[in-house]
A and B are shown apart, each in its own frame.
Chain A
Amino acid sequence: MALLEITDLEVFYGKARSLHGVSLEVGAGKIVAIIGPNGAGKSTLLDSIVGLTKRTGRIVFDGTDLSRMRAPQIVSLGIGYAPERGNLFPFMGVKENLLVGAYRARKEIDKNLRMVFDLFPVLEERRNQETRTQSGGERQMVSLGRALMSSPKLLLVDEPTMGLAPRVCLDIAAALRDLNARLGLTIVITEQNVNFAMNLAQEVYLLETGRIRLKGTPDELRHEKYIVETYFGA
């Protein structure tokens, strides 16, 4: 059963159309990757799911139509979002950033804080460090942790490996796999790093110039001529 269903999603920034009739489904408990080049509309797609854009079309999450809902209400339904730039609170410490993420899930603060610190032990060690002084990898962990503090059923992660060292990318991938396998968390990631996305996801969509161009399992797309030529350079 689909946890998230998007039908004919269109997003405009002024007169420029950023997404052209995008439709996709995300099954409960799956990891789905949206791959595509810079400017394809991947971040816009995730922003639209959480209500940060003016959009038309239909977005249904867990049986609830999100089309007319505002972002704070959508988050409280159980969608956590770790955006590309983190959008952390730079003059707050790690723990305070995480506590803000629990704004709509205050009864579960202790449990979720423990879960985040178990997932990323370095964050517990640096719980009082202001996030503006942290490395890119640590900030990505705080961003993921903050999204997890809202007790989400669906986790949206925008470009989790952007600008990170390979070792940190592996840690992030391991954490996402763990969340999916252990907690059954449904995850949607966007990525330019096609290898990373294909190794992590069970289903992949290729988004280009605001349109879904291809979809399939990683195995299917690895043999797709267009993907091979364009993204693997073969």
Chain B
Amino acid sequence: MKVAVIRTGVANLASVMAGLRRAGATPELTDDPAAVAAAPAAFLPGVGAFGAGMAGLRSAAIDRVLVDRIAAHRPVMAICLGLQMLARASEESAGVDGLGVFDATVTRFRGDVRIPQFGWNRVAPTADSALVQPGYAYFANAFKLDALPEGWAGAMGDHGGPFVAAVERGPVLACQFHPELSGDWGQALLRRWLEVSAC
């Protein structure tokens, strides 16, 4: 299946492209809103700061396209900063509006833990999660969502306290971790998302 991978700024996308290819997809890099709107599935990567990521989406006029896709339950996967940009705002970039799909503010990790969170952490799906299996995922983040938005399933992790590891509803899946770097477990998740997206 063709997956439109949204090119936002200087994010390194080689791992994402390779991961999607291994999962059987045909990823195509694009910053064209019409291509993102038309693609059977859209993929929002995210490395870097919240403010810069949102500025990239807005200047390419992809922000509305993504919100519309999600509202229409059309396949979208967002990872790392991509998940955070679905929120209303972030402590990382005060005063910058997120996409507002989730009525929540992204916060920084606190407490006596390594920040950023770098490495493999246990992921525990909610009972109503259809895509996420229990296992270990690879994270590289200093910010996170604190609680699952109402009406969404997903998964939680723990790093000095609970945080949101994944949010899902139908073929819309947002992961705080990097499935493309999470070994066989991550590959299996990409495949399941591609399967539900093909329906």
A and B held together in a complex: no
